[in-house]
Amino acid sequence: MMDVFDFGAFPALETPRLRLRQITRADADAVFRLRSDFEVTRYNTGTPYRQLDQAVQLIENITASYDDCSEIRWGITLKDGDDELIGMVGYNYWIRADCRASVGYDLARAYWGQGLMSEALGAVVDFGFERMALNRIEADAEGRNPASRRVLEKVGFRCEGIQREHFYADSGFHDLWLFGLLRRDWAERSEQR
């Protein structure tokens, strides 16, 4: 029987280059830098942050959601760095009855194109199947964001459909690409690694 994660002690994760850890109030400046960068947030819901208080509120919301056992998000740091947060990744919801959850992520622009988000997301996906007893992990990517789609595909997600003109932003309607990764597909990929 699988030892299912119970939201006790926060689970730190490691990859060859990264450490994924709890996001704390001490990360407020780094979260603000991340979320105030238009290029990083342009495909997220909402506008870039303008005040540090917005980052503090986000961290408080992340902490409260962990405390009420509804979501888990990790701060991404470099193993050989100074523990400065360079991104965030995690589960935005977990529907236990259906054994499914949804992932999302952000990464500081200085670290794009190095395979770091695929590495971080891979660890979070492994955690989901190994510790959360998930059968399915979902994600979405804005139609104008091919880099996010590549990250998902690199980790094994499959595009399951496109919600055409799903939302309005920047004076136009935009598509939302829907992705899914099933436990059986993950297990097959894991055997091949």
The count of C-alpha atoms lying within 13 angstroms of the C-alpha of 50, restricted to the half-sphere facing its C-beta, is 2
- Say if 165 falls within a structural domain: yes
The conformation of residue 44, written as its DSSP 8-state character, comes to: S
Contacts of 167 (CB under 8 A, 6+ apart): 173, 174, 176
How many structural domains comprise the chain? 1
- Say if 120 falls within a structural domain: yes
pTM attached to this predicted model: 0.93
Per-residue pLDDT of the chain (193 residues; tens, 9 = 90+): 567 898 999 999 999 999 999 999 999 999 999 999 877 776 676 678 899 999 999 999 999 999 999 999 999 999 998 999 999 999 999 999 999 999 999 999 999 999 999 999 999 999 999 999 999 999 999 888 889 999 999 999 999 999 998 888 777 898 889 999 999 999 998 888 7
pLDDT at 43: 66
- Say if 6 falls within a structural domain: no
In the chain, where do the E strands start and end?
A: 13-14, 18-22, 72-78, 87-95, 100-107, 136-142, 158-169, 172-182
Map residue 191 onto helix, strand or coil. helix
> Domain containing 18 — which CATH number?
3.40.630.30
Domain range for 95:
13-192
